[in-house]
Amino acid sequence: MAFLIFLVSSVHGMACSAQRTKTKTASGVLYSWAYCSDFSILLQFDRSHSLMTNVESCPENDLMHGVIEGFYGPPWSHEERLTVLDWMAAFGLNTYFYAPKDDLKQRLLWREAYVESELHLLRDLIEACRQRGIQFVFALSPGLDMKYHSEAELSLLKAKCHQIRQLGGEHFAILFDDIPDVMGEEDQASFSDFAAAHCHVANQLYLWLKESMPTLRFLFCPTPYCARMRQAQLGGSQYLERVGQLLNQGIDVFWTGPEIISSEIPITDVQEIGRVLQRPPLIWDNLHANDYDGRRFYCGPYSGRPLALRKEVRGILHNPNNEALLNYVPWKTFADYVHATSDGWDARDAYLRAMQQWHDSFESQGRPISLEAFLLFGDCFYLPQEHGEKAQLLLARAQKLFSAPVARNPEEANLFKDLAIPLRDTCREMVHLKNRSLFTALYRRNWDLREEMDLLLHCLDQMEQGKEQGFYSDYHLPGTYRGGLLADLQSLLKQQPDAS
């Protein structure tokens, strides 16, 4: 899901949770990118993958918990998907949900059958899931242009699902998110409202699949999939109430929480929507999704969801950063949350443990990257609405320095340097990573962060020499630094914290 309507580490022999068979994974590569825009406002300018396992099926626990490939942007490669599955098996996650928005035959060209070369990769993917004890869910998104009343259109949906079923696919979904919430004249004559049309298609497809697949899990994404969309009556008045009334009780319904990107999902939110839908919701969690902002990624912990939430939902599926191998920390902390057994769950502690594991992938051919500096680096790319602790401290010190003459307070300058210099040097050292795939994935965003640290430290030097304004850097010139049409457009409007 994205904002269309509104607005590696190596893993070696890691043990799964106690609910799963021990699994040995091949090593995988983790990409990571870096960007931190808040510093830019301080100064203004004119494989070979394999898995050995004897797991034959998913755990008996009915709760779905796993990964959604459901973002806008280039779909993951087959090799990336295998690495994702290795991590999932190692972490104890049980569901892989196939729904890449820009697999054209999943969404825009949903009527077209997959050709043999595409089916070959999907067959391998489904088999890879089976070997790892992960359930594969295949989703279709026909809502951009489907004629809901048409039996011929329904037959095309069945034909596409039949292709996947022949490959071994056992679970399916139909998604009506991010689509125009209007119907054509023929559909208006056939259905009383938008929800009735969607439920008709979903029910027919579900019942047809269920005839030959008694263990089928079938999932449904409504057009209003968060509380804000519901309040705006997206899809029509009472859309979700109608879904609760009309949709077969065997079908699970997705929900993202109060927002598309929900920093918190309170229990009261899912209880309320559960009453409306007449069933517990299935969480589609966009906490770490980054398809809406190409400058950022998120490696902060899975957080903002109380442990008790797990008892109020049919499952939680995580829609992550676009870059598959960038999600080590999000998935590791998500899995820790899923399998936590006490009220002592602490997201920050889980993050620190996962970052320590990920740090092993950042071996440099130059100087070593310290764990302390690496944690500061990760804190700069934490969560959509939150910086990590060390990044918050860095930003606060920078703001204090550049709001008063630093020459009068050298202690403040030194406190800032204690964080800024190691961070800048860590960014510089990233170019020497032995893992060149990781370096390539890091390069652009890591460069941006390094440049901001370079500029702040350069201007700080000038301030310490007595200059309090008119700072100048030969390496940060208007047009070539923070330049371009997008930067000019962004300067026209300043968004407030309340989105006004």
Q: Which residue has the higher pLDDT, 414 or 470?
A: 414
Averaged pLDDT, 445-456: 93
DSSP one-letter code for 52: E
CA 489, distance to chain mean position in Å, is: 27
3 state SS of 317: strand
pLDDT at 1: 54
For residues 32 and 497, give the distance between their C-alpha atoms in angstroms, rounded to a whole number: 28
pLDDT at 405: 57
For residues 144 and 223, give the distance between their C-alpha atoms in angstroms, rounded to a whole number: 11
Residues of the chain within CATH 1.20.58 domain(s) are 16-50+362-491
Strands 315-318 and 282-285: parallel
Q: Which pLDDT band holds residue 408 (cuts at 50, 70, 90)? A: low
CA 166, distance to chain mean position in Å, is: 30
The overall average pLDDT reported for the chain is: 87
3 state SS of 449: helix
The CATH homologous superfamily of the domain defined by 55-346? Glycosidases (3.20.20.80)
Averaged pLDDT, 318-324: 93
**Contact criterion met (CB below 8 Å) for 263 and 229:** no
Averaged pLDDT, 106-122: 97
Residues of the chain within CATH 3.20.20.80 domain(s) are 55-346
DSSP one-letter code for 383: B
For residues 346 and 228, give the distance between their C-alpha atoms in angstroms, rounded to a whole number: 28
Averaged pLDDT, 431-458: 90
Q: Render 396-441 in DSSP notation, one character per residue.
A: HHHHHHTTS-GGG-HHHHHHHHHHHHHHHHHHHHGGGBS-HHHHHH
Please identify every residue annotated as catalytic: 178
pLDDT per residue as tens digits for the range 91-102: 999 999 999 999
Q: Which residue has the higher pLDDT, 183 or 469?
A: 183
Q: Which pLDDT band holds residue 249 (cuts at 50, 70, 90)? A: very high
CATH 1.20.58 assigned to domain 16-50+362-491? The reply is yes
Q: Which of 112-126, 146-160, 354-368, 402-416 is predicted least confidently?
A: 402-416
Q: Which of 38-42, 190-194, 278-282, 477-481 is predicted least confidently?
A: 38-42
Q: Which of 53-57, 146-150, 194-198 is predicted least confidently?
A: 53-57
pLDDT at 51: 35
Residues ≥6 apart with Cβ < 8 Å to 51: 23, 24, 25, 26, 85, 86, 89, 128, 131, 132
pLDDT per residue as tens digits for the range 14-55: 333 333 333 333 223 332 233 344 555 454 433 333 333 333
pLDDT at 326: 85
**Contact criterion met (CB below 8 Å) for 391 and 35:** no
pTM: 0.86
pLDDT at 45: 39
Residue 1 burial (C-beta neighbours within 10 Å; 0-12, 13-18, 19+): buried
pLDDT at 59: 34
pLDDT per residue as tens digits for the range 155-184: 999 999 999 999 999 999 999 999 999 999
pLDDT at 38: 53
Q: Which pLDDT band holds residue 500 (cuts at 50, 70, 90)? A: confident
Averaged pLDDT, 313-319: 98
pLDDT at 276: 99
Q: Which pLDDT band holds residue 477 (cuts at 50, 70, 90)? A: confident
For residues 482 and 163, give the distance between their C-alpha atoms in angstroms, rounded to a whole number: 48
* Percent residues over pLDDT 70 in the chain: 86
Give me the amino acid identity at 67.
V
